[in-house]
Chains A and B, each alone.
Chain A
């Protein structure tokens, strides 16, 4: 009985504190890995007169700013938007990615042009 109680208490200690990898022992870290890599992003288009406008969540032209996960996915969306808005001078991006330490900035006022496609 005490052995089972010890398994229930010290199993998670081994997994969560000592970072043991054996899955024989339980751990209670619900949703700790969920949403990692998710990117939250703001896109702005700059026209040739230097005017800037924000691309809304459902962007002009019907292209939705969908859920973006990871840098490769973000770069694919940037290329997609540059193609769609080829008449603009630049696409300006602010982006943060979810990490175990919280949001981390990946682009701060980063400018992309058609040449970056």
Chain B
């Protein structure tokens, strides 16, 4: 039987709209994103460092919103407020006012992560909101709410990870990078003096690192969408970003990318994995 051909826009839309599923991966992402936001911004946001009233208000909103988001209290509101604070931090203070270090790649990725997670029901698991909902249900004798919700926000996070790898590889596809020469100058800039490293392996090492980074990032860009490859690609990605983290001052960027891999793990797998980890505790009556 012939089915009418779907339009490309419809096909793209259908691919985007993941079915409903467990919200535990969203919850883990929520908690991890707040941890990274604090790593990057908390010390910069203390009031003593705020030069004006506008930034002081921003700082107070930052601590209030992120603290509520971390514990998952009024999560829809607190995640949206955190996203708004990150948008103001990045675009107003970083881009518009040009504060040094406020509009960098790692702050952009963190801002995008906060915006994307705010679009999801990330408070339905591992949160005070859920705890309160369970208590209400117990008191009223109603059903305990499911840890389920719409997952299209996870797809947007996947797209964000794809874009980072795709455009990063696009930037590297030039003779200067692929010959290893750009990496040589970066490593000399970071580690050495201008006396060229005298050991013969340095250019070869840089050449190998250049090609390895391009090949691995290209593979991750597309391969992370294939669930059965994840057990190989996630460790590979962690190694890649671990190497970047140790070699270069990338701030929260590497850990942010690794955290976002959670979006690629099928939500049902992750839910079952957490159940399996907690099962021994449940079997002993909840005592650890």
Contact = CB atoms under 8 A, between A and B. Distances in A.
A18 interface: no
Interface residues of A, number: 42
B105 A30 contact: yes
B271 interface: no
Interface stretch (B32-40, B49-57, B173-181): B173-181
Contact of A9 (B108, B159, B175): B159
Interface stretch (B70-78, B125-133, B188-196, B277-285): B188-196
Contact of B193 (A8, A24, A57): A57
Interface stretch (B61-69, B135-143, B161-169, B230-238): B161-169
B12 interface: yes
Interface string A15-39: 0110000011011111110111011
A5 B156 contact: yes
Contacts of A34: 186, 189-190
B171 A16 contact: yes
Contact of B192 (A13, A67, A102): A67
Given A8-B163, A38-B188, A67-B194, A1 B108 contact: no
Listed residue (B108, B182, B192) with the most chain A CB atoms within 10 angstroms of its CB: B182
B182 A67 contact: no
B56 to A, nearest CB: 25
A101 interface: yes
Contact of A103 (B103, B181, B189, B250): B181
A5 B193 contact: no
B196 A101 contact: no
A68 B166 CA distance: 33
A98 B91 CA distance: 31
Contact of B105 (A13, A28, A68): A28
A30 B217 CA distance: 13
Contact of B170 (A16, A39, A42, A67): A16
Interface size class of B (residues with CB under 8 A): 35 or more
Contact of B152 (A1, A9, A39): A1
Contact of B156 (A1, A17, A35): A1
Contacts of A31: 186, 248
A72 B152 CA distance: 54
B12 to A, nearest CB: 7
A9 B165 CA distance: 11
A28 B182 contact: no
Interface in B6-35: 12-13, 16
Contact of A2 (B12, B91, B184): B12
A80 interface: no
A72 to B, nearest CB: 14
A12 B188 contact: no
A8 B186 CA distance: 28
A41 interface: yes
A48 interface: no
B182 A35 contact: yes
B194 A102 contact: no
26 contacts: A1-B152, A8-B112, A12-B167, A17-B170, A28-B105, A28-B164, A29-B168, A29-B171, A30-B168, A34-B186, A34-B189, A35-B185, A35-B188, A38-B194, A40-B195, A57-B195, A65-B193, A65-B195, A67-B192, A67-B194, A69-B189, A77-B194, A98-B185, A98-B188, A100-B174, A101-B175
Given A38-B188, A102-B181, 19 more contacts: A1-B156, A2-B12, A9-B159, A12-B163, A16-B171, A24-B95, A28-B164, A28-B168, A30-B250, A32-B171, A35-B188, A35-B190, A36-B185, A38-B194, A40-B188, A40-B195, A67-B188, A68-B193, A102-B182
